[in-house]
Structure 1
Amino acid sequence: MRPAGPVARLLWRALALVFVALGLLGAFLPVLPTVPFLLAAAWAAGRGWPALERRLLEHPRYGAYVRQWRRSGAVPRRAKWAATGMMALSSAVLLATAAPAVVKIGAPLLMAAVAIWLWRRPEN
């Protein structure tokens, strides 16, 4: 990969920080996932901030998930169940709102597609 220029490097770093911040929020808010944001942070950091990428890969709690994803696209079964449960709960709550019918139908269909994709991922 060609080295990024100073502006591109700054933009990659900013994006990585946004994803790290969202991942940090996810560590405290049960409705916001942590690991997907850390995966995205490692991806962005890999393009403009190698030191942050290394820290994410070596993180004592989340580093293994990032490494597994990079190695084989693996998602732990527990994470699959948690994501599927949250999508089902979100769909049920959405149906109880005054959202337009297209949203009440489209969002659960999109979440179902994501769940199918997720369950097709390897687990190790």
Structure 2
Amino acid sequence: MKLAGFGVSKLSKRFSAITGQGKRLIYCLFAYLFLAIAVVGVITPGLPTTEFVLLSAWCAAKGSPRLHQWLLNHKLFGPMLQDWQRDRTVSRRTKVVASLMMSLCVILMVIWVPHLMLVGVAGFCMLLSSVWLWTRPEPFNDQSSAASQLNSASPHSHSSTCSPTNVK
């Protein structure tokens, strides 16, 4: 497979030859790029946010621990990332909001965009994104990780007596 004139193996060899500091810089740049696209996606119907936030967090984990922590503690992105990082789940609310926004975008494109081929390609990409989202499992109790940790730490909770740290 060719990519911009290079074989994929040549490209991966060149990337692996970059030193640790250089890799961190590249991951950090991509983390900020994907985060910027995700922020634009929050206010732009049809541009996926979830996938770009996940990509940003992955790159930040490899390139910028400070940015990664900021993303995990963010009011909007944090719960989604914590669910994903904890057990690779996407909440039902995230799936519904993303699907509704993509549907709204397709409807608006059908009304205002005169090029049906462009509408078809964009609609197909949104359909693929939606299928990917809906095939991800949902959190067990579909609550944010902070709320579920609070519930499991409650002294009246049955699950706290069964935790491995309490078994003697």
Same fold (TM > 0.5): yes
> Taking structure 1 as reference, are residues 106 and 24 closer, same or farther at Cα in structure 2, changes over 3 Å only?
closer
2:33 match: 18
State the aligned residue count: 120
The 5 Å alignment of 1:34-73 reads: 34-73=49-88
Match of 2:105 among 70, 74, 90: 90
* 3-state secondary structure, aligned to 1:122: coil
Tell which deviates more after alignment, 107-116 or 54-63: 54-63
Among all aligned residue pairs of Structure 1 and Structure 2, give the percentage whose two residues are the same amino acid: 33
Match for residue 122 of structure 1 among 131, 137, 155: 137
Q: 1:48 to 1:75 in 2, by over 3 A?
A: same
Counterpart code for 2:114: A
TM-score, L = length of structure 2: 0.58
Q: Match for 1:91: what amino acid?
A: V
Query: Which is higher, the Rg of structure 1 or of structure 2?
Result: 2
Give the alignment partner of residue 104 of structure 1, picking from 100, 103, 119: 119
CA RMSD of aligned residues (A): 2.6
1-side partners of 2:119 and 2:54: how far apart?
Answer: 29
CA distance in 1: counterparts of 2:48 and 2:126, whole angstroms:
15
Report the CA distance between 1:65 and its aligned residue.
Answer: 1.3
Given residue 46 of structure 1, which amino acid in structure 2 is its aligned partner? A
| Deviation digits for residues 85-108 of structure 1 (CA, Å, limit 9, x no counterpart) | 111111112222211x33233322
Q: Quick one: distance in 2 between partners of 1:113 and 1:26?
A: 16
Structure 1 residues 95 and 65, CA gap change in structure 2 (3 angstroms): same
Change (3 A) 1:19 1:114: closer
Instruction: Provide the C-alpha distance between the structure 2 equivalents of 1:81 and 1:95, rounded to a whole number of angstroms.
Output: 21
SS in 1 for 2:114: coil
